[in-house]
Amino acid sequence: MFPKLDELESKLSELEIQLSDSTLIADQRAYKKVAQEHAMVTKLAVFCSRYQKVNDELEEGKKMLQEEEDPELLELVKKEIEDLKEEAREIENDIKQLLLPKDPNDEKNILLEIRAGTGGDEAALFVADLFKMYSRFADEVGWNVEIMSSSPIGIGGFKEVIALISGEKVYSKLKYESGVHRVQRVPETETQGRIHTSAVTVAVMPEAEEVEVDIDPNDLRIDVFRSSGPGGQSVNKTESAIRITHLPTGLVVSCQDEKSQHKNKAKGLKVLRARLLDKMEQDQHDKMSENRKSQVGTGDRSERIRTYNYPQGRVTDHRINLTLYKLESILLGKIDDIINPLIVHYQAEALKQVQ
């Protein structure tokens, strides 16, 4: 059922030889990949060793049940056997999780895109609220947030905001945030106290490295223009804003947050590269069978995934039927209570496929 311990020890020796190879050390990308595999195999070897030991102890316990006559000792042996069976089940689950196919993007930084949908200014204000929520969460876990592009409106919201979030395993934590986030609340401009429903779209894309997405400069049309602020007023006397069009796909990226044309172009290319990688992966998802889609999630950006209800102080994630009455805390960045159950849910779904 699981890899044999001697096979794992042999694999570890092989990986350790690779890690000491000066050629591999010179290639940091390849070295990191081997180092991650070494860490995984090491962990697997520890679990398999413990699993083997627990099973040996179980066999000894079963023999004692047949040989022991003292009633008190028999009860102790039965209790120990039950404990060992429970431990074996836990180790089996740990081993299965380690053996699950790894998402190659889990270790990556992300491009977070939040866009106003239905609801006009109210949706744009909620874009700002969600961006603050993710930014506060990033601060809590020690990640860095850098705005790549934004389209502010005059009352404090955004039509769109794109940010690079960098740190340890960002994508693995936030990859299930993609989808439609709905907000129900009474807008400040509402005189009769009616609750309005607005929607915002969140897209979480793994940061793409240049070697993953090769962009031919001949496939790009780059336009420059003056930056504009809320309401369209000019905020820069020089043409520093950049609009990049990828001709083969029609993808368009605009960036005007920096005063330097060079910096805006660099940020724009980073966003474009992430979108192209995302498009490639979405195309692959579309070709997958329904069975495979159930393992990795639909990845459908049009799916309504969560509702934030202000009058009731309630947040509901519709995918796992999770409802929490702690809206204020969640908007302050305490989103572990949603993220962790989502991760557990999708891991459980994946484990069903390897039972």
* Residue that the structure tokens 């997958």 belong to: 288
Same domain? 39 vs 116: no
**pLDDT at position 238, please?**
58
**pLDDT at position 77, please?**
85
Q: Is residue 161 part of a domain?
A: yes
Same domain? 224 vs 327: yes
Same domain? 93 vs 115: no
Query: Could you read off the pLDDT of 112-127 as tens digits, one per residue?
Result: 999 999 888 899 999 9
Query: Could you read off the pLDDT of 235-258 as tens digits, one per residue?
Result: 445 567 888 888 888 888 888 877
Q: Is residue 354 part of a domain?
A: no
Same domain? 155 vs 209: yes
Largest CA distance in the chain: 94
* Residue that the structure tokens 């689950």 belong to: 93
Q: Is residue 105 part of a domain?
A: no
Same domain? 199 vs 251: yes
Domain count, the chain: 2
Same domain? 238 vs 333: yes
Same domain? 42 vs 179: no
**pLDDT at position 286, please?**
63
Same domain? 240 vs 338: yes
Domain end (from 77, 99, 121): 99
Same domain? 287 vs 322: yes
Q: Could you tell me the residue range of the domain that residue 47 belongs to?
A: 5-99
Same domain? 60 vs 118: no
Compute the mean pLDDT over every residue in the chain, rounded to the nearest whole number.
84
Q: Is 0.75 surpassed by the pTM of this model?
A: no
**pLDDT at position 302, please?**
60
Same domain? 345 vs 284: yes
Q: Is residue 308 part of a domain?
A: yes
Domain end (from 48, 65, 99): 99
> Strands across the sheet with 314-317, in order?
144-152, 158-166, 110-116, 196-206, 179-185, 304-309, 314-317, 322-324
Q: Is residue 275 part of a domain?
A: yes
Query: Could you read off the pLDDT of 294-328 as tens digits, one per residue?
Result: 433 434 456 789 999 999 999 999 999 999 999 99
Domain end (from 58, 76, 99): 99
The CATH number assigned to the domain holding 235 equals: 3.30.70.1660
Q: Is residue 355 part of a domain?
A: no
**pLDDT at position 211, please?**
56
**pLDDT at position 297, please?**
41
Q: Is residue 17 part of a domain?
A: yes
Same domain? 335 vs 215: yes
Q: Is residue 139 part of a domain?
A: yes
From CA 299, how far away is CA 281, in angstroms rounded?
A: 10
**Residue 234 neighbours by CB under 8 Å, 6+ apart:** 226, 227, 228
What parts of the chain have a pLDDT lower than 70?
A: 1, 189, 191, 210-212, 227-239, 284-302, 353-355
